[in-house]
């Protein structure tokens, strides 16, 4: 039987979902995107996610569901909240979604899910060293992997450099906000990734986020010890990684 799970990627403005072949790392059929309910409250989001899962599978089946989320996630609880309601902080989100969906659910940080997709199916497939995944967008999402295993909730976008939370200087949103050229922005990225190298000595650095489509404009400007490469799975990474972790978690329990 084909190994399948459902992946859901919750963001501040949109919620994306799809059925995933977790062996091949491919979306099966249609990817659905709906708007995140205004205010981003738990009950509203769980209702929308339940409707989305029904669209993907009908009322049948017990496929596991992986949900990635803009928050630190510990043991199924969302410990922070970015661009969504503060009601999520300290909430047992896993139980909330399991009640709404009537099936096994696995919750994880969105950058962790994107990193899992790259390690299992993308730029770091079969890589055995220390991999540092980063997504450049509104902020800087990060994930760490050692020999293919995730170290969860590595919030390294918030490193303090030059006395500030450096994602406010080096995220793609800062480039847009300040009207920086790629050359000017790359100087900030150089400082950020050089700090990551000094602290962790990664063997591979991956850059994701929508701007990674334009990687040729800025990655060649960076001078680092480790190879730095664009993500492969891009906009589908959260969905693929969430589904893969949900399926793995289902097998282990």
What per-residue confidence (pLDDT) applies to 82? 77
Number of helical (H) and strand (E) elements in the chain, helices listed first: 7, 15
Question: Mean pLDDT across the stretch 61-81?
Answer: 90
What pTM was computed for the model? Answer: 0.90
Residue 6 has pLDDT above 80, yes or no: yes
Note the helical H segments in the chain.
Answer: 42-57, 93-101, 110-121, 167-170, 172-178, 182-200, 237-252
**pLDDT score recorded for residue 57:** 84
pLDDT of residue 59: 59
Q: Would the pLDDT of 127 be above 90?
A: yes
Q: List domains and CATH numbers for the chain.
A: 4-112+236-252 (3.30.420.40), 126-231 (3.30.420.40)
**pLDDT over threshold 50, residue 253:** no
**How many whole angstroms from its chain centre is CA 76?**
16
What SS3 class is residue 184?
helix
Mean pLDDT of 42-55: 94
At 94-121, the pLDDT tens digits run 999 999 998 889 999 999 999 999 999 9
pLDDT given for residue 12 in this prediction: 81
Mean per-residue pLDDT for 221-225?
98
pLDDT at position 209 is 87
CA-based nearest residue to 64, from 115, 149, 3, 148? 3
Q: pLDDT tier at 235 (50, 70, 90 boundaries)?
A: confident
Looking at residue 216, what is its pLDDT?
A: 96
Mean pLDDT of the chain: 92
Q: Is residue 20 very low, low, confident or very high in pLDDT (cuts 50, 70, 90)?
A: very high
Q: What is the C-alpha separation between 71 and 128, in angstroms, rounded?
A: 27
Average pLDDT over residues 133-144: 92
pLDDT reported for residue 70: 86
Q: What is the mean pLDDT of residues 65-78?
A: 93
Q: Average pLDDT of 190-219?
A: 96
Please report the pLDDT score of residue 1 as a whole number. Answer: 54
pLDDT surpasses 70 at 251:
no
Q: Which one-letter DSSP state was computed for residue 186?
A: H
pLDDT at 230 over 50: yes
CB burial readout 207-218, b (16+ within 10 A) else e:
bbbebbeeeeeb
């Amino acid at each position: 039987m084909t190994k399948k799970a459902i992946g859901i990627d919750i963001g501040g403005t949109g919620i994306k979902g799809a059925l995933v072949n977790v062996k091949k790392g491919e979306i099966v059929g249609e990817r659905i995107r709906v708007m995140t309910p205004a205010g981003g409250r738990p009950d509203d989001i769980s209702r929308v996610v339940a409707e989305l899962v029904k669209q993907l599978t009908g009322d049948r089946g017990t496929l596991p569901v992986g949900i990635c989320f803009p928050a630190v996630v510990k043991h199924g609880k969302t410990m922070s909240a970015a661009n969504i309601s503060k009601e999520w902080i300290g909430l047992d989100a896993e139980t909330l979604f399991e009640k709404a969906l009537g099936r096994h659910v696995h919750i994880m940080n969105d950058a962790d899910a994107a990193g899992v997709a790259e390690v299992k199916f993308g730029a770091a497939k079969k890589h055995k060293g220390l991999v540092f995944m980063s997504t450049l967008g509104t902020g800087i999402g990060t994930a760490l992997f050692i020999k293919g295993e995730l170290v969860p909730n590595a919030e390294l976008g918030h490193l303090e450099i030059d006395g500030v939370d450096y994602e406010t200087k080096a995220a793609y949103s800062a480039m847009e906000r300040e009207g920086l050229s790629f050359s000017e922005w790359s100087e900030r990225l150089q400082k950020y990734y050089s700090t990551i190298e000094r602290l962790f000595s990664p063997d591979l650095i991956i850059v994701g986020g929508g701007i990674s489509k334009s990687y040729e404009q800025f990655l060649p400007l960076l001078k680092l010890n480790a190879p730095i490469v664009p993500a492969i799975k891009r906009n589908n990474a959260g969905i693929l990684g969430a589904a893969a972790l949900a399926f793995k978690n289902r097998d282990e329990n």
